Structure 1
Amino acid sequence: MAVDRHAYSAAQVLRDPWPGALLALGSVLVLLLGVFYPTFRSMVTTWSNTETYTHGFLIVPIVLFVLWRQRHALARLTPQPAPVAAVALGGLAFLWMLGELVDVWSVRQFSVVLMIPVLVWLILGARIAWQMKFPLGYLLFAVPFGEFLVQPLMVYTADFTVAMVRLTGIPVYRDGMYFTLPTG
């Protein structure tokens, strides 16, 4: 009779801290989504209504994929709650409240998105949160922010493009954001 080396005995399952830690983390994330639902909804609405931010729909699947790829490295670590993270969580909640008071959506959105890595730190511990630093940091790209940068970046891009074309010796005529080459 062959023994499956991946099979767990009941005692091993009870000693494994991961299922309980992941259940706790999942529960807290669902609670976060429920408590700050209007803030999360505002992010999704912006993704839907503004072409600049449609990439927001891809952020969570990408984060989950990267975490899935890291699962073996993460499984070697042991979840150890970090109560000190509760201080950071309180600070982010206070920041969210300030954003609510002055009615600034980006402050509220950054606050709730930053609460996710802090909750991972709180429940799974610093070592695991550090191992997950890239996908947790990548979540910040979900926040629709930076609309004010679009116009200056377009001007910079046009300036740079015209300068590079002129370096090649090709004459270029620029009219605002549009430029014309002798060939059309």
Structure 2
Amino acid sequence: MDLTLHQKSFKTMKKIIHIVFFLMLALIASGCQEKNKSPKPTPKHQEKKQSQKYTIDTLQKQADAEHMLPVVFKVEPICKNKQQVTVILAVEKTIYQKMKKIDLPYFYTFSAYKEEKGLDFEPVSSNKIRVLTDSEISNSHIDQENPLIADETYVFLQMTQVGKGVFHKEDTLSFAFLSGKHEDVFYFADLKQQVAYFKEAE
């Protein structure tokens, strides 16, 4: 009788040992799987060197890095083979008042670059900035049906630039106005592409 009990208890212990052994094996196996699943360090992505090409986004990033806030317009110039160009912009009067307070001609650059050719934009100090009178607006190339002409909250500014290169009619130019006075910068939030005008200098 005692022998039978001893045999039964031995078998029970043997089963328990087997169960524990298999559980340990299972735990070890699962641990190995998790280790294999752990993400391997990804090699640093080597960017292909591309020819430097400025776009609206890259210009914005560069301006941010230099603590400047640009306004960029993409316009089709109507001038051809001219180094001097004039751009007319509609600006909110409240923004223009801020511009006057910081002497805009001295702290701003009027920049242009030929985007499709990947050339760096060339800053040129713009010291010829003035507000157009009503008669000048009516006699200019500006579309007289433009709703901003009748909007009394806007003024039309004319800026003239002498470029370092020659601008061609087929070139798409982008203009950025960057503040050189870091402690007093602001963003021209209400200027849009359709408000920028490009004309041949007289």
TM over 0.5: no
Q: TM-score range by the shorter chain?
A: under 0.3
What TM-score, normalized by structure 1, do the two folds share? 0.24
Structure with the higher strand share, 1 or 2: 2
Higher relative contact order structure (alpha carbons within 8 Å, sequence separation ≥ 6): 2
Q: Which has the larger radius of gyration?
A: 2
What TM-score, normalized by structure 2, do the two folds share? 0.22
Structure with the higher helix share, 1 or 2: 1
